[in-house]
A and B are shown apart, each in its own frame.
Chain A
């Protein structure tokens, strides 16, 4: 009989109690995903590792103040990774809205779908994203993975700010409905 793994909430409670084993389990569970996200945003392994280290240590130190209304532990941890990585991207003195072609090539991984197909949940999310009209999908990807603010995206894409907001809103609403249908 396979050994039962502790749920994420229990792991965070153990982290708050300074249980290094719980931290190791949390890392084994989400370290790869966290690193993949950081790498996708930063495009560089060493910086991505630093972001992951910062995020797990933040979770280690902040587990006592974690509240469920911030999202489940996985989402909470990945949001820390995302914020840290985007902060680094924006702090780079050379960071400016890139030409549209360059910006699009950065977050678009052609092999992403192939790798994600291996997992049903990955495939569901991927399909929900890919089902969006291109403009909505680009806006969401450039914002989330490219670190662009909506104002920068407005300049980058040459459309009014209201259009950028509208694409984000409609795109995320469609994704939400698509994900709800599969649950």
Chain B
């Protein structure tokens, strides 16, 4: 059996061992009940130390950032099988049809075939309905053109400004994403604080909608980067961006 590590348990509990020593202690604890019991008791004492710090409030936006990032982890229902679009299978009113058609024109999005396939996916269709509604109600939009390896791709940030409708980005023609990279949408405040609005994985479709669980108001720029991690500050290069103009007076 390994030699007991009682001599290092206090430093281990305080996080005051270097990585190699901490791993050695952790490995021992895995197989030693008596040391593990003592380590747990010390950890309980050390766990009270945060109570001694001066209470400080984080900015309220931190809560939104955390919930938005967590929301992107929730698996979405599998999309309905792709099918050719028809008036019989998707009952669109004339108004809705006109709105959808207009939205495609507004987006400058792909051809009618891509449009038809997109409308066959329920979730995407719902997003387009939201878009129509937002356009009716004075929603706003900003187009982010792709750069470098994303040339030819783009994304439009929509702020529906309608009750119950959350903002989203509608991407088109996203290229394959390098392994290990995490496409990330950011909202940037006037003081250059980058707030992670959403992370996502390309779905392989011509068009992809990514919801954002944050208010757009208060930010003056939106951007897309490729990050190494689904959380943390921005490190990746900007592959799309746009200024967010304030609403017209």
With contact pairs A20-B71, A112-B53 given, residues A31 and B18 touching in the complex (Cβ less than 8 Å): no
Task: State which of B58-66, B90-98, B119-127, B200-208 sits at the interface with chain A.
Answer: B58-66
Q: Min CB distance, A50 to chain B, in Å?
A: 5
- Name the one of B40, B51, B69 contacting A71, with C-beta atoms under 8 angstroms: B40
Instruction: Assess whether B14 is in contact with A40, with CB atoms less than 8 Å apart.
Output: no
- Name the one of A50, A56, A176 contacting B45, with C-beta atoms under 8 angstroms: A176
Task: State which of A1-9, A97-105, A165-173 sits at the interface with chain B.
Answer: A165-173
Taking the complex as formed, is B114 at the interface, i.e. its CB lies under 8 A from any CB of chain A?
no
Taking the complex as formed, is B2 at the interface, i.e. its CB lies under 8 A from any CB of chain A?
no
Taking the complex as formed, is B41 at the interface, i.e. its CB lies under 8 A from any CB of chain A?
yes
- Find chain A residues with CB under 8 A from B16 CB: 143-144, 148-150, 153, 168
With contact pairs A46-B193, A149-B16 given, residues A168 and B10 touching in the complex (Cβ less than 8 Å): yes
A129 and B49 alpha carbons, distance in the complex (Å): 8
Taking the complex as formed, is B47 at the interface, i.e. its CB lies under 8 A from any CB of chain A?
yes
With contact pairs A31-B63, A54-B232 given, residues A115 and B54 touching in the complex (Cβ less than 8 Å): yes
Instruction: Assess whether B56 is in contact with A111, with CB atoms less than 8 Å apart.
Output: no
- Find chain A residues with CB under 8 A from B110 CB: none
Interface residues of B in 112-143 (CB under 8 A from A): none
Contacts A52-B62, A115-B55, A144-B49 supplied; 16 other A-B pairs, CB < 8 Å: A20-B74, A23-B66, A39-B53, A45-B58, A46-B233, A48-B58, A49-B62, A54-B231, A56-B70, A69-B36, A75-B44, A116-B53, A144-B15, A172-B10, A172-B42, A176-B41
Instruction: Assess whether A150 is in contact with B62, with CB atoms less than 8 Å apart.
Output: no
- Find chain B residues with CB under 8 A from A155 CB: none
A101-143 interface mask toward B, CB cutoff 8 Å, 1 = contact, 0 = none? 0000000010110011001011001101100000000001001
- Find chain B residues with CB under 8 A from A61 CB: 73
- Find chain B residues with CB under 8 A from A37 CB: 50, 53
Taking the complex as formed, is A86 at the interface, i.e. its CB lies under 8 A from any CB of chain B?
yes
Taking the complex as formed, is B163 at the interface, i.e. its CB lies under 8 A from any CB of chain A?
no
- Find chain B residues with CB under 8 A from A143 CB: 11, 14-16
Instruction: Assess whether A125 is in contact with B14, with CB atoms less than 8 Å apart.
Output: no
- Find chain A residues with CB under 8 A from B104 CB: none
A sample of 28 cross-chain residue pairs with beta-carbon separation below 8 angstroms, ordered by A number, consists of A31-B58, A32-B55, A32-B58, A36-B50, A36-B55, A40-B54, A45-B58, A46-B193, A52-B58, A53-B231, A53-B232, A57-B231, A60-B70, A61-B73, A69-B36, A75-B43, A112-B52, A116-B54, A125-B48, A140-B14, A143-B14, A144-B15, A149-B11, A149-B16, A153-B16, A165-B8, A172-B14, A172-B42
Taking the complex as formed, is B7 at the interface, i.e. its CB lies under 8 A from any CB of chain A?
yes
A50 and B234 alpha carbons, distance in the complex (Å): 10
A167 and B40 alpha carbons, distance in the complex (Å): 19
Q: Min CB distance, A129 to chain B, in Å?
A: 6
Taking the complex as formed, is B35 at the interface, i.e. its CB lies under 8 A from any CB of chain A?
no
With contact pairs A49-B62, A75-B44 given, residues A144 and B67 touching in the complex (Cβ less than 8 Å): no
- Find chain B residues with CB under 8 A from A45 CB: 58-59
Q: Min CB distance, B193 to chain A, in Å?
A: 7
Which among B16, B17, B18, B70 has the greatest number of chain A C-beta atoms within 10 A?
A: B16
- Find chain B residues with CB under 8 A from A165 CB: 7-8, 10-11
